[in-house]
Amino acid sequence: MKIVVHIKGEAEQWREALADAFPEATVLTSDACAEERKNADYLAVWKPPEHLLREQTQLKAMINLGAGVDYLLRTPGRPKEVPIAKLRDAGMSELMADYVLYGVLHFYRSFDRYAAQQANAQWQPHPVEEKSQWPVGVLGLGAIGAHVAETLSQAGFPVSGWSRSPKRIEGVNCLHGDDGLENILSQAKTLITLLPDTTETRGIINAKRLGQLPQGASLINPGRGTLVDENALLKTLDASEGLRGAMLDVFPEEPLPADNPLWRHPKVTITPHMSAPTPLHDAIDQVIAYIRDFEAGKSVTTVDPENGY
Ligand code: GLV
Q: Which of 107, 88, 226 is nearest to 147 (CA)?
A: 88
Instruction: Tell me the CA–centroid distance for residue 289 and ligand 1, in Å.
Output: 20
Known catalytic residue at 273: yes
Q: Mutate which of 69, 278, 280, 286 to test ligand 1's pocket (most atoms within 8 Å of Cβ)?
A: 278
Q: How far apart, in whole angstroms, are the C-alpha atoms of residue 58 and residue 40?
A: 7
In short, whether 67's Cβ falls inside 6 Å of ligand 1 is: yes
Cis peptide leading into 257, omega within 30 of 0? Answer: no
Residue 240 has pLDDT above 90, yes or no: no
Rounded mean pLDDT, 7-22:
97
* Each residue's pLDDT tens digit, 161-213: 999 999 999 999 999 999 999 999 999 999 999 999 999 999 999 999 999 99
Terminal-to-terminal C-alpha distance of the chain = 27
For 19-78, how does the pLDDT look when each residue is reduced to its tens digit (9 = 90+)?
999 999 999 999 999 999 999 999 999 999 999 999 999 999 999 999 999 999 999 999
67 burial (CB, 10 Å; 0-12 / 13-18 / 19+) is buried
* 3-class secondary-structure state, position 49: coil
Report pLDDT digits (tens) over 71-122.
999 999 999 999 999 999 999 999 999 999 999 999 999 999 999 999 999 9
Band of residue 131 on the pLDDT scale cut at 50, 70, 90: very high
Separation CA 44–CA 81 (nearest Å) = 16
Q: Is 78 a catalytic residue?
A: no
Q: How far is CA 237 from the centre of its chain?
A: 23
Q: Indicate which atom in ligand 1 lies nearest the CA of residue 224.
A: 2
Atom of ligand 1 nearest to the CA of 92: 5
Per the residue annotation, which of 126, 224, 264, 281 is the catalytic one? 224
